[in-house]
C-alpha cells in the first residue's frame, strides 16, 4: 500500500502535526505500507527527523499558496506514485479545495482535523480530541465518510505505549515538576512557568525543563534555570516518555503533548495557546482530568505559582487527575486508526 502524508512543522506551528503523523506512519509501515512525507521547507521543519525515522520525503518551497501546494503535491504523487492508495493531510492551511484537487491522484483521502470549522472532501476524518462526537461533522463531510473521533484514537508514539506499562497512577506527592511547551513556544510560556517555580522558593522541588530546537528563547531560559539549584534543562529531546514518567506534575500547553501526559498518568496544569485547544481543555478541566490555567495572554508567573501551591496541597485531586488521565488515553490509538484504514 502506497501512503503519502502531507504535513508541516515550523517554529510557528510547532511539531505536533508531524509527530503524530510519524506515529501513524510507523504503524502503517508495520502493516507493510510504503510511506512518503511531503513537507514545506519552513524554518524549524522536521524533514531531517522524518528521514532519520526511515521515511522518504519530498520538499516543497516555503511560502507557497494552497493552490501552488496542490499543484506541486499532485505532480509529485502522479510522477512518483502513479496513484496513492491513501493521501493523509494534517494541515490547518489546506482545505476542501486542496482535497478536491488531490482526488485524481489518490484512491482515498484521510484528513486529520482539530478545528471542526470547515468542509472536507475525504474518505476518513480523524479528530482525536477528547469529547468530540462524530455528528459535528455531519454536513461538512461527504456521505459515507468514516469519522474517527475522540481520545481513543489519539496518535501517540511507541515510547509512550511502552512506558505506560511501567507507570502507575501518581500518589499525590509532588517532588518533581516537568515543564514543556512544545517545539516552538514563540510566546515564551516556558519562561513564565520557570519563573513561577522560582517564586515558590521551594528547594524541595526538582524541576525538569524541556525546550524544542525551534524555541527562540532557550538561552534566556537556560540562564534562568542556572539560578534554580534543583533544575535541569534539556533541548531538542525526542525521547520524552522517561522524563514525563519520572515527574509528579506537569506544566504545559494544550496541544498534542496533552495526550502524552494523559497516557502516562501525569497530572497537568495546562495553558491554552490556540483557539482549537480551548473547548477540549475546558472539558478536560470540568471532568477532573487536567487543571486549566487559562488563555495564555492572561496568565502570569504569579498566576501559575498560586495554582501550583493549591494543587500540591490537594493530594486527592492529583490522584484523581492521574487516574482519569490514564482512563481516556491508553496509547493504542495509532493501531486503531491503522486498522480502520486497512479495513
Q: Which domains does the chain have, with CATH numbers?
A: 2-149 (3.40.50.11190), 160-328 (3.40.50.2000)
* Spatial separation of the C-alpha atoms in residues 291 and 279, rounded to whole Å: 13
Three-point CA angle 123, 126, 129, nearest 5°:
160
pLDDT for 87: 97
CA distances (Å), origin 87, targets 84, 98, 102, 141, 148: 6, 12, 8, 16, 16
pLDDT for 193: 98
- Kindly report the number of other CB atoms within 10 A of residue 328's CB atom: 18
User: Residue 298, by phi and psi: left (phi above 0), alpha (psi -120 to 50) or beta?
Assistant: alpha
DSSP, collapsed to helix, strand or coil, labels residue 175 as coil
Low-confidence ranges of the chain (pLDDT < 50): none
* Spatial separation of the C-alpha atoms in residues 284 and 327, rounded to whole Å: 12
CA distances (Å), origin 31, targets 108, 235, 342: 17, 33, 9
pLDDT for 118: 93
- Give me the phi and psi of 180, to 5 degrees please: -155, 130
Per-residue model confidence as pLDDT tens digits over 311-335: 999 999 999 999 999 999 999 999 9
Residue 92 contacts residue 10 (beta carbons within 8 Å):
no
CA torsion through residues 321, 20, 330, 180, sign: negative
pTM: 0.90
- Residue 319: partners with Cβ closer than 8 Å, 6 or more residues away: 169, 170, 171, 172
* Spatial separation of the C-alpha atoms in residues 125 and 217, rounded to whole Å: 36
Per-residue model confidence as pLDDT tens digits over 249-296: 999 999 889 999 999 999 999 999 988 899 999 999 999 999 999 999
pLDDT for 153: 97
Q: What is the DSSP string of 125-166?
A: EEE--TT--GGGGTTTS-TT-EEEESGGG----HHHHHHHTT
Cell of 283: 472539558
Cell of 253: 500547553
Amino acid at each position: 500500500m502506497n501512503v503519502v502524508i502531507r504535513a508541516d512543522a515550523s517554529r510557528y506551528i510547532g511539531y505536533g502535526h508531524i509527530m503524530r503523523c510519524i506515529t501513524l506512519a510507523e504503524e502503517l509501515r508495520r502493516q507493510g505500507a510504503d510511506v512518503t512525507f511531503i513537507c514545506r521547507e519552513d524554518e524549524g521543519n522536521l524533514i531531517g527527523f522524518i528521514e532519520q525515522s526511515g521515511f522518504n520525503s519530498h520538499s516543497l518551497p516555503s511560502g507557497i499558496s494552497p493552490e501552488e501546494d496542490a499543484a506541486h503535491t499532485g505532480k509529485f504523487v502522479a510522477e512518483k506514485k502513479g496513484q496513492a492508495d491513501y493521501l493523509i493531510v494534517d494541515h490547518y492551511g489546506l482545505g476542501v479545495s486542496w482535497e478536491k484537487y488531490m482526488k485524481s491522484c489518490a484512491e482515498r483521502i484521510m484528513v486529520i482535523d482539530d478545528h471542526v470549522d470547515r468542509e472536507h472532501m475525504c474518505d476518513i476524518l480523524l479528530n482525536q480530541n477528547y469529547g468530540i462526537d462524530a455528528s459535528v461533522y455531519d454536513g461538512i463531510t461527504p456521505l459515507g465518510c468514516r469519522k474517527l473521533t475522540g481520545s481513543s484514537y489519539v496518535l501517540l508514539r511507541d515510547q509512550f505505549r511502552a512506558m505506560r506499562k511501567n507507570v502507575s497512577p501518581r500518589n499525590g506527592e509532588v517532588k518533581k515538576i516537568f515543564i514543556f511547551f512544545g517545539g516552538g513556544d514563540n510566546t515564551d510560556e516556558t519562561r513564565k512557568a520557570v519563573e513561577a517555580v522560582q517564586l515558590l522558593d521551594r528547594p524541595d522541588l526538582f524541576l525538569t525543563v524541556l525546550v524544542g530546537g525551534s524555541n527562540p528563547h532557550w538561552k534566556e531560559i537556560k540562564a534562568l534555570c542556572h539560578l534554580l539549584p534543583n533544575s535541569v534543562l534539556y533541548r531538542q529531546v525526542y525521547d520524552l516518555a522517561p522524563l514525563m514518567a519520572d515527574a509528579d506534575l506537569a506544566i504545559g500547553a494544550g496541544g498534542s503533548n496533552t495526550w502524552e501526559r494523559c497516557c502516562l498518568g501525569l497530572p497537568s496544569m495546562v495553558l491554552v495557546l490556540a483557539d482549537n485547544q480551548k473547548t477540549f481543555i475546558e472539558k478536560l478541566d470540568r471532568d477532573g482530568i487536567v487543571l486549566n490555567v487559562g488563555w495564555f495572554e492572561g496568565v502570569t508567573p504569579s498566576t501559575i505559582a498560586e495554582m501550583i501551591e493549591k494543587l500540591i496541597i490537594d493530594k486527592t485531586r492529583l490522584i484523581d487527575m492521574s487516574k482519569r488521565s490514564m482512563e481516556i488515553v491508553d496509547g493504542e490509538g495509532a493501531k486503531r486508526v491503522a486498522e480502520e484504514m486497512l479495513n
